[in-house]
Structure 1
Amino acid sequence: MSATLREAVAEPAPLVRHPRRILVVSLAVCLVPVAALAIVLWHNHGFGDGRGGAAKGGGHPALPVYLRLFFAVLAIGGLAHAGGWVARRLGQPGVVGEIVAGLLIGPSLLGRFLPGVTAALLPTDVRGHLAVLAQVGLVLFMFSVGAEFDTAILRRQGTAIGMLSQATMTVPFVLGLLLVPAVFPHFAGAGIGEAPFAIFLGTAISITAFPVLARIVEDAGLAGTPLGSLAMVCAGIDDVLAWSALAVVLAVIQAGSPFGALVALPLALGFALLVLLVLRPLLARGADRLRDVRAPVAVPLVAVLCLVFTLAGLTDRIGVHAIFGAFLAGIVLPRGSRFLAGVPERLGTLNRALLLPVFFASIGLQVDVVSAVGDAGLLVAGAVTILVAIGGKLGSAALCARAGGLSWRASAGLGVLLNARGITEIVVLQTGLAIGVINERAFTVLVFMALVTTVMTMPLLRLLGLVRPGGSAPTQERLAR
């Protein structure tokens, strides 16, 4: 074969040697003029006075609200993604950096020291629209959690694992109940009773972040291993119990009395059974019949969105919360359907890129670390709560796992994994703040607890020697020693 022919049939050399660099530079090239345009418009016309009128001192008309909303989402999304990138570079889950980036915009930093920057990023009349987008992002997030939740894994495991999961939920929950007399004056919302507050606090202390845990298990090289699988199963069961407890709190608060909750809870349970036992097989049958139908991408996408928001709206009307309906929608969505292939992934990508950062920003606007630091009683109550939360979750998991035959190292690793609370805790806390069961200062302290317990996971796993970056994880034999 001649040299010319060999060159003709040979695989061509790649045109781009550093695609990631090109991606970064391209984004910078695109964002710089957009940022410059925003600054020029803000300087010349203003983003508005919060009422949609003319800018101060200029007489020029304010930017339309949709443009201010666009710039706010653009700024929030950029900060959140930058924070996630920094967190991943530091060996932490990206969600940690995204949450911290959201906190920086709020009164803890920019809102206190550079209020003009916060006002420019998040104008007053835009925040209501951002709150709506944040709720949409929360609903879609809970749908993604349900779609990724493996209900079959709960049936495949034995009674011992079920008891282990209940112990890791029950112990911190009871410890949270014991804390109520000490922290109630500092944490409780105005006019809230001790019973719903106690259930909520126990739930907040005992929850595990199932979606974040899945990412941590994967990053640590524990996916598919006995320890990683055990942690995921326990976290799944714990989350089901936690959401059930939260439903009780929501029913009591929104019904106005425990007797009203006796109506809301059976309705919620009956609705869940109807969805799981009737709607789920109907959806699976319909997806099978449509498996050979070639429909535009928009058709299954709109169908799934209708399912999500219909169930979310119904559970909200029942008196629990829209997040439970969205979670049910994810669980009953047919798995492996050709007609619905890729729809959850598309919705998840859009949500992570645009709407979840808005949710994080809305959380940041409600967190004021400086005010919390100035209250000595609140600091003591918060420190005790964090210590009880960490000790109760980590200790109960480690002791029960050790009794089940795991080595002390693996048992401690299980406790460390289940101690991560992440975004699931943030969702629970935001719900509690919205219904008034906790106040804003308690919200700040408990958000800090969620961040601390998530950030400490990877360093402790490395300290225990359980992180396998190459994907090789401890075998069953090594775990049992």
Structure 2
Amino acid sequence: MQATKSGGKASPWRYALLVALPMLGAVALSLYFSGPGSTARVAPVAAVHLSSPLARFLLQLLTVLVVAKSAGWLLRRLGQPAVIGEMAAGLLLGPLLFGAVFPQTQTWLFAPESLGALSLVSQLGVLMFLFVAGAEFELSSLRDRRGFALLVSHAGIALPFLCGVLLAFALYREHAPAGVEFTGFALFMGIALSITAFPVLLRILSDRGMDSTPLGRIAVACAALGDASAWCLLAAIVASVQADGWGMVLMSLGGTAVFAVAMTAGLRPWMAKQTIAPGKEGRSLIGLLLLALTAALITELLGIHALFGAFLAGIAVSGNARLRDLLVQRVEPLAIALLLPLFFAMTGLRLRIDGWQMSDLALCAGVIAVATLGKFGGTWLSARSAGMPSTEASKLGVLMNTRGLMELIVLNLGYELGLIGDRLFAVLVIMALVTTAMTGPLLDLLDRRSRLRASVN
């Protein structure tokens, strides 16, 4: 406590005696003499206030954050990236676990009519996340191995894309929602099996100390180029699904192409020359956020999706290291720590397993196997054909099989567009979690095999 002007000290006991005790006494007396049953009305009043939209939203937010961060801490102790625990926690808050153990509490806390604010804030979190992901997409990282990265990243898309389309033939009749054409369903399945989680991959490489190794740099370049290519394919699919006729499809794709060129070839060089004056970081940050929101609005109006605009805005910023660092320092912690767990929770609330059948468990295992073999096989074959040693090519294939958050974003987009139903959505979400969680153990296995061979030789 600070000393007063007269030299005495305002001790905590003196404050409690002279301030807290009289206030508590006044409240107690007012409740006692306000009539019979007045104290019994305190609980109902609290319950009424707890049912208000703001109180419900704050309780949802607290629940999601506590569960997500706890699960992230636990998974990190087990050697997995924290984001995997947060993803799993979001799913467990839905009917899968919370709804099965405490159905009435889960139904009250996450009532459908109360999820509007949570959904919008989670979408904002995804926009900011993709904005930062685009800013971390450094084209300079492709300079030395551009041809290799182009081959491996596109081969890592082509083979699993083909596997997804072939898988669609077996799944379309039972799992495609009514009114969905086979072409849209098959193309979306191809994309769903082709995604690599570029931001999650960065964190896995950093946690394992591989981010500065030659393999780590190649993996980052391949994942970044692969994600950009996959998002272009997804934009075409979204345009074809949402547009009314091929004329509208061409208009949406043409407008998006013009906008993408303007952002990457026009705005990006200009942004690369900008500087931040000392003490003006806040003004620059506001400008960057306005850029992201404007770009997201433009692609939404073009009939693609707001997510693509946010990603393009990030790419426009990626050429300026100072602006990129500003986003990573100021925006990324907010998006990852606060907003993305809400997106995981919304994904979990969409997960419905009440209609699952025993055949869906076999389907889940089959989809995981096809997705893994397609991604790993395409990457390994292309890397080996370009002269990479087998062990390094295997590690690269394992890293490219990481799907994580990007996969969940794509799956939620497909679910919102009505391209997949509840059962297949649940299967693909589990596939995203499993293929991401297996990255660390598979890399450890390959490392042990390399050491064993080295000791034998």
TM-score (norm. length: structure 2): 0.84
The equivalences for 1:291-310 within 5 A come to 291-292=276-277, 294-295=279-280, 297-310=281-294
The answer to whether the 8 A contact 1:413-1:466 is kept is no
* Pairwise CA distance, 1:343: 3.7
For 1:371, what is the secondary structure of its paired residue? coil
The equivalences for 1:34-433 within 5 A come to 44-45=43-44, 60=48, 63-285=51-273, 287-288=274-275, 291-292=276-277, 294-295=279-280, 297-333=281-317, 335-336=319-320, 342-372=326-356, 374=357, 376=359, 378-433=360-415
For 2:106, give the aligned amino acid: T
* Pairwise CA distance, 1:326: 0.4
Number of the residue aligned with 1:434: 416
For 1:465, what is the secondary structure of its paired residue? helix
Question: 2 CA distance for matches of 1:236 and 1:339?
Answer: 19
Question: 2 CA distance for matches of 1:339 and 1:144?
Answer: 11
The answer to whether the 8 A contact 1:402-1:411 is kept is yes
The answer to whether the 8 A contact 2:297-2:309 is kept is yes
| Structure 1 residues 150-196: Cα deviation after superposition (integer angstroms, max 9, x where no partner) | 12223432423322221111111111111121011233233111111
Q: Percent identity?
A: 39
* Pairwise CA distance, 1:367: 1.0
For 1:44, give the aligned amino acid: A
| Structure 1 residues 388-440: Cα deviation after superposition (integer angstroms, max 9, x where no partner) | 11111112222222233333222211111111111110010011001111112
Question: 1 CA distance for matches of 2:313 and 2:426?
Answer: 31
For 1:91, what is the secondary structure of its paired residue? coil
For 2:277, give the aligned amino acid: D
The answer to whether the 8 A contact 2:160-2:194 is kept is yes
For 2:341, give the aligned amino acid: P
Number of the residue aligned with 2:7: none
For 1:306, what is the secondary structure of its paired residue? helix
* Pairwise CA distance, 1:62: 5.1
Question: 2 CA distance for matches of 1:212 and 1:158?
Answer: 22
Question: 2 CA distance for matches of 1:449 and 1:103?
Answer: 13
The answer to whether the 8 A contact 2:404-2:433 is kept is yes
Question: 1 CA distance for matches of 2:395 and 2:318?
Answer: 34
* Pairwise CA distance, 1:370: 4.8
The answer to whether the 8 A contact 1:137-1:355 is kept is yes
For 1:144, give the aligned amino acid: V
Question: 2 CA distance for matches of 1:442 and 1:310?
Answer: 34
Number of the residue aligned with 2:427: 445
Question: 2 CA distance for matches of 1:298 and 1:70?
Answer: 27
Seen in structure 2, the aligned counterparts of structure 1 residues 64 and 424 have a Cα distance that, compared at 3 Å, is: same
Question: 2 CA distance for matches of 1:260 and 1:267?
Answer: 10
The answer to whether the 8 A contact 1:220-1:466 is kept is no
* Pairwise CA distance, 1:368: 2.5
* Pairwise CA distance, 1:227: 1.5
For 1:332, give the aligned amino acid: A
The answer to whether the 8 A contact 1:139-1:322 is kept is yes
Seen in structure 2, the aligned counterparts of structure 1 residues 158 and 274 have a Cα distance that, compared at 3 Å, is: closer
Matched, 1:459 2:444: no
* Pairwise CA distance, 1:68: 1.8
| Structure 1 residues 284-342: Cα deviation after superposition (integer angstroms, max 9, x where no partner) | 44x23xx33533x5422221111111000000000111111100111112655657852
The answer to whether the 8 A contact 1:300-1:343 is kept is no
RMSD of the TM alignment (CA)? 2.5
**Higher Cα Rg: structure 1 or 2?**
2
Paired positions, count: 414
For 1:267, what is the secondary structure of its paired residue? helix
For 1:318, give the aligned amino acid: L
